Structure 1
Amino acid sequence: HGGHGCSAALSETAACNLQPCEACRPVDCLWEAWEDWGPCDKCGRGQRKRFRHVQVQPSCHGRDCTASASEEISNCTRRCHEETFCMWTTWAPWGECSQTCGDGGRGGRGGR
């Protein structure tokens, strides 16, 4: 009561970690080759699909994977009452890690 207000700064900052940051080199999305077309999905007139997977995830502000990961055509025919059996293939190799450091991930694929 009756004193003077504070005239000094209430906080200070000091420089730290002055080493230059590592240069960030943009890496664009890279797709794997398209898989083979799948079988016609129904007897009569049906559709066939094929897929592709990301081989390299974009990083450091590189271009995203904006194109579609699947395609389909709707002009296939399959005889009705044709026996079809499911058959698995071997596992595909692991994909590349999504990050060069930190919390990355990688995926594997099963065959069909």
Structure 2
Amino acid sequence: DGYWSSWQPWTPCSATCGDGVRRRIRSCIGPLYGGRRCNGDDYESLLCSEEKCEHCNTHQCPIDGYWSSWQPWTPCSATCGDGVRQRIRSCIGPFYEGRICNADDHESLLCKEKC
């Protein structure tokens, strides 16, 4: 009958952060002269959050900052003549060393009110 070789070492984790998998394989040696094939699997997989993966994925993946929705426009700053309307938004995050939001957090428009 066939017999199993020793397990190969575990592979490195498939991800450097967050969820990942480690695998290891073994080979069926034989069978010979009509013997039976090895019984069982020739590979094992572990999610990196399991105990045997304690040194794998020890931190969260970076999450870049993202913009909130724009707030409503403010009323015109002038009640007569030229003024300005503004609106703002906020950068949410970043988290776990992600990148900060890129672009302006405010917008302005000229407005003109009748006198």
User: Shorter-normalised TM-score: what interval?
Assistant: 0.3 to 0.5
| TM-score (normalizing by structure 2) | 0.45
User: Rg larger in 1 or in 2?
Assistant: 2
- So what's the TM-score if we normalise by structure 1? 0.47
Per residue, is there more strand in 1 or in 2? Answer: 2
